[in-house]
A and B are shown apart, each in its own frame.
Chain A
Amino acid sequence: DTGVSQDPRHKITKRGQNVTFRCDPISEHNRLYWYRQTLGQGPEFLTYFQNEAQLEKSRLLSDRFSAERPKGSFSTLEIQRTEQGDSAMYLCASSPRTDRVEQYFGPGTRLTVT
């Protein structure tokens, strides 16, 4: 299967701990996106990379959140000092090139902060 993969699929952590999620996009997709989805809502955009450059950040991405895509391939999303309000599904998507608008999503990482 050559779809977008995310690891882990589930994460339970205690408030105040740091967590890191990984996303592997579809091979040769140079655009990578992170979204957050809470219950009853659609996904909300967090940040976007073209190759290794982080080009856009949503105001939802507080200072406790940081994302990287060091070699333009996989990406990591780290949340420091987690809060209960960070509990959500974190989705990663990738997109092939500038003339295509569709984004292909991974299965997501469900974070529960206790």
Chain B
Amino acid sequence: DQQVKQNSPSLSVQEGRISILNCDYTNSMFDYFLWYKKYPAEGPTFLISISSIKDKNEDGRFTVFLNKSAKHLSLHIVPSQPGDSAVYFCAAIGGGGADGLTFGKGTHLIIQP
């Protein structure tokens, strides 16, 4: 049973526009959510996180929104740049931060010139 779901395998966005990546989860015990970016032949790179007690966290061009009642989070990238083309993974972690991350399957973001 997949506890973290990214239902869009790919997303194409024009350069300069907003990219919105979505993630749903089923486990209400998760207390942090994270977004990672991955280029081919590299490990995932941490982007941004949000605590389950918050509904928004912003870092430069990246903003994550959390809707606990809907068990849904989204990553907004504004404005989108060519270097943002990568696979984006949503991940979650349980209480205490000691557990391993639970990842979604990823969304391949393609930024069109």
A95 proximity list for chain B (CB < 8 A): 97
A48 proximity list for chain B (CB < 8 A): 98-100
Q: Is the CB of A107 within 8 A of B41?
A: yes
Contact residues on A (Cβ < 8 Å of other chain), bracket:
20 to 34
A1 at the interface (CB under 8 A from B): no
B97 proximity list for chain A (CB < 8 A): 95, 98-101
Pick the residue among B36, B98, B103, B106 that contacts A56 (CB under 8 A). Answer: B98
Q: Is the CB of A56 within 8 A of B100?
A: yes
A20 at the interface (CB under 8 A from B): no
Pick the residue among A42, A99, A102 that contacts B89 (CB under 8 A). Answer: A42
B8 at the interface (CB under 8 A from A): no
Q: Is the CB of A35 within 8 A of B100?
A: yes
Q: Is the CB of B105 within 8 A of A42?
A: yes
Known: A40-B105, A44-B103. A103 touches B98 (CB 8 A): no
Which B residues are closer than 8 A to A by beta carbons? 4, 32, 34, 36, 41-46, 49, 89, 91, 93, 96-106
Which A residues are closer than 8 A to B by beta carbons? 4, 31, 33, 35, 40-48, 50, 55-56, 58, 91, 93, 95, 98-108
8 residue pairs of the A-B complex, CB under 8 angstroms, read A33-B101, A42-B103, A56-B99, A56-B100, A91-B43, A101-B32, A101-B34, A105-B45
